[in-house]
Structure 1
């Protein structure tokens, strides 16, 4: 199975090229046209991403994440959320790379088979980087008013958090 994974991407690329040749299309020109159409999209995505990354860095440097985790500690204890997972739960909605770093630290400190490690693993795999996703997708098409998207997405993230603790408590403890 490991050797099959090495060949999947080249096989997909070869099949696309062969399909283009079969349809008698100039595959390279079609590729260049697609790349040209992608440049404006990339340019439109960059400003929201720069703003998001700057805000994350500022909140992290100011200690706002720590203060937010402490302010929400009554809620976390009510949910039986391990204290080490709280920063991950907050960061997961904001930054994929930031949450991955916190996740790695949790696994190194507690181990992957601990309750905390398992809750962190389920949380990491069952939630989304909401703010990043909204910034990229809405920014790429020029939508500035997200309406109900953000509250609904944060509710889904919270549900993922609660279900992470519940799932590990019921099935993996």
Structure 2
């Protein structure tokens, strides 16, 4: 079974290649064209990604996140959300790597089996890097008006956070 798991990607690549050859597609030429398109997309979206990553770095390094967490702590306690989770909630929509750093700090400080650790784990698995995803996907195809996407994603993340708190409380009884 382990051999199949280790070989799954080469098997898929081989199957796609063989299928393309059988259908008369010039597989190598298509691959090269796709690689060219991928590089041009990377060049187009790089400034947006750089701006977002610099913004997240400044936000974390300046200490504003700590002040904002202290300010909003009384409000989040009303819904039963531990205030220690607030930095994760604000960083996750912006940066997956930034959220992973905050998440790691939470687990080191409170432990994976604590209510805070469980809520943070559920949030990491159920929320999205909204602004990063919008930047990459919409920037890649040149969409400038995101319409209802942002609000839908924010509502989905809020729902996931509320459910994370409730699910963790149910699991820990």
TM-score between both structures, scaled by the size of structure 2: 0.91
In structure 1, the residue matched to 2:37 is 37
C-alpha deviation, 1:2, in angstroms: 4.2
Contact 2:88 2:103 in 1 (8 A): yes
Deviation at 1:155, TM superposition (A): 2.0
SS at match of 1:28: helix
Consecutive unaligned residues in structure 2, runs of 5 or more: none
The residue correspondences of 1:73-112 to structure 2 (distance < 5 A) are 73-112=73-112
TM-score when normalising by structure 1? 0.91
- Aligned to 2:85, the other structure's residue is in SS state helix
Mapped contact 1:96–1:129 kept (Cα < 8 A): yes
How far is the alpha carbon of 1:69 from its aligned partner? 1.4
Number of residue pairs matched by the alignment: 173
Match of 1:72, SS?
helix
RMSD: 1.6
Higher relative contact order (CA 8 A, sep 6+): 1
**Runs of 4 or more above 6 Å deviation:** none
Which runs of 5 or more residues in structure 1 are unaligned?
none
Whole-Å separation in 2 of the counterparts to 1:111 and 1:66: 20
- Residue deviations 1:50-101, cap 9 Å, x none? 1111111121122221122122112211121123222111111111001111
